[in-house]
Structure 1
Amino acid sequence: MAIGGNPVFRGKNFRSAVATAPPVPQAPYGQNPYGQYGQPAGQSGYGQNPYGQNPYGQPSAQPQGQQMTPEQLDQMYKAPSAGPVETGRMTYDDVIMKTLACLGLVVLGAGVTLFVSPAASLGLMVLGAIGGLILALVNSFKREPSPALILAYAALEGLFLGGLTRIIDAFAPGAGFQAVLGTVVVAGVTLALYKSGKVRATPGLAKFFLIAIVGYLAFSLVNLGLVLFGVVDSPWGMRGIEIMGIPLGVIVGLFAVVLAAIALIFDFNSIEEGVRAGAPRRFAWTAAFGLTVTLVWLYTEILRLIAIFNSND
């Protein structure tokens, strides 16, 4: 399984849950995988236990030596098998609903920054950035997902994104709406391409992503250092340098958006593998957290790209 871009899905919790999930028996061509009458091959065809007890160690409901009627056997055979929900396994619906809950808190947190003073909004943005980073690390390394901590992370990220959007909207009106629209479009197109099979999470793509993301992080750290120490005058650092009339930040920003889209491909693949392997239902929170992390990154990159465009007009 190619669990690639998002470190949330590469962590021990999600990876071990998928690896150790009990296999789901599949009946070929609609046959009962346990023999003609629902019993494992080699046992009595009428479900009679040779010891007078059921296979779970409890006294049999049938009197010893009494066989089940053909009608009872036929009813048992035709009964629907237990689905993922009944067996406590992760489903796509679980992931969707929990992801929507996380994104709803992101929007709610962002909305809070619109109803406070600019100074308070800046303070909330700093709180959201620091708190979100801490909870992102905590949630990534926890062995078991914590819904409360995951939802708290989403709310803090909302404060950060709301404050950042308010600052950029001050000199680039409409940037926030454009960034939201861009995030929805990129995520939707990526999901459509993944579902169609035109893009897949291959080992080659994983290697490219790993090399590219390390290079991008190195560039970002160096650029941040240059800005903090005043080596460059532009608030964007090296991103403000123009190459053939195009700001370097635009080129790097587009590259980062592509990387975020690739990360989404690996997120979708990891979720698909988790559902297919029958991972425990609680790990739907891990999947929702991983998607939220990637979507927050994607929105931030698009917002910064729009800001650089506007600052060079």
Structure 2
Amino acid sequence: MQSGNPALNKNTFLDAASGAVVTRSDDAMTINGTVNKTGLLLLLVLVGAFVSWSRFSGPDSLPTIMPLVLGGCIGGLVLGLVTVFKKTWAAVAEGLFIGALSAIFEMRYPGIVIQAVGLTFGTMAAMLLAYRSGLIRATEKFKLGVVAATGGILLLYVANFAMGFFGHSMGFINGSSMLGIGFSAVVVVIAALNLILDFDLIETGAQSGAPKYMEWYGAFALVVTLVWLYLELLRLLSKLQSRN
């Protein structure tokens, strides 16, 4: 099993102590349990987003809201790395980050947030339907391709961030040129395909009798992918609207 999502990997669904899967059904991971925990984490993201969104009242409030953007981003990353202990807090931190960032985008492009939210959940529904119907199969080649593409995007973002310290950047990443729009569209597609990997790993974990607590890992992985997809859609929509 492979996933481009750092919250999941091929050993995620092995019992941490014995390296074996759980055989008792009461202690085993289920898809319904993962869905319920995903709903809870999304609710926590929404709570965090509401807190930071409510503190934004226009350009004058930027000095107040920027610490939430940075704190939410860094906090979500740090807590995500120790997700075995702080999954719920990581969800709240992610909410603070996307709520503050969404408020800034909404100020500049009114209506963009509801469009991005609708497209995010619409994409998730479409990917789930494609996965369940067998239209898209998580074969080993498919997984390898998506993981490689995700890693390539991550390296580009890291390189662009590092270049920023020297006053340079890759213009197509944030620019609204046709190349920039095309790049964002490709990233959105890769983020959406990561949902297929998450669905496959969760289903595999449930079928193999993974430990019950692994439902939290599966739920957190889905939330991470959805947040990434939402942010990339927000970026793509902003590029498109900036050309109008």
The alignment status of 1:174 with 2:118, answered yes or no, reads no
2: distance between equivalents of 1:226 and 1:174? Answer: 32
Give the helix-richer structure, 1 or 2: 2
Alignment of 1:283 onto 2:221? no
Task: Give the deviation of 1:7 after TM superposition.
Answer: 2.5
Contact kept, 8 Å, 1:8 with 1:290, in 2: the verdict is yes
What is the identity percentage for the equivalent residue pairs of Structure 1 and Structure 2?
35
Unaligned 5+ runs, structure 1? 25-83, 140-144
Letter aligned with residue 183 of structure 2 = V
Residue matched to 1:214: 151
Shift of 1:307: 1.3
CA offsets 1:30-87 (integer angstroms, 9 cap, x no match): xxxxxxxxxxxxxxxxxxxxxxxxxxxxxxxxxxxxxxxxxxxxxxxxxxxxxx3xx2
Aligned residues: 238
In structure 1, the partner of 2:42 is 103
Return the alpha-carbon distance in structure 2 between the equivalents of residues 200 and 155 of structure 1. Answer: 33
**Residues 3 and 269 in structure 1, CA contact (< 8 A), matched pair in contact too:** no
Matches within 5 A, 1:1-313: 2-10=1-9, 12-16=11-15, 20-22=20-22, 84=25, 87-117=26-56, 118=61, 119-139=63-83, 145-146=84-85, 149-231=86-168, 237-239=171-173, 246-313=177-244
The structural deviation recorded for 1:216 is 1.5
Distance 1:282 1:98, change over 3 A: same
Deviation at 1:240, TM superposition (A): 5.2
Gaps of at least 5 residues in structure 2 are: none
Residues 1:306 and 1:16: Cα distance change in structure 2 (over 3 Å): same
User: Who wins on radius of gyration, i.e. which is larger?
Assistant: 1
Instruction: Classify the secondary structure of the residue corresponding to 2:21.
Output: coil
Regions of 4+ moved over 4 Å: 15-19
Q: What root-mean-square deviation, in Å, do the aligned CA atoms of Structure 1 and Structure 2 show?
A: 2.2
Whether the aligned pair in 1 keeps the contact of 2:15 and 2:211 (CA below 8 Å) is no
Q: CA deviation at 1:230?
A: 2.7
With over 3 angstroms needed to count, the CA separation of the structure-2 counterparts of 1:113 and 1:22, relative to structure 1, is closer
Bigger RCO of structures 1 and 2 (CA < 8 A, at least 6 apart): 2
> Is the 8 Å Cα contact of residues 239 and 247 (structure 1) preserved in structure 2?
no
Report the CA distance shift for 1:260/1:15 in structure 2 as closer, same or farther (over 3 A): farther
Is the contact between residue 127 and residue 192 of structure 2 (CA under 8 Å) also seen in structure 1? yes
Say which SS state the counterpart of residue 281 (structure 1) adopts: coil
Amino acid at match of 1:288: A
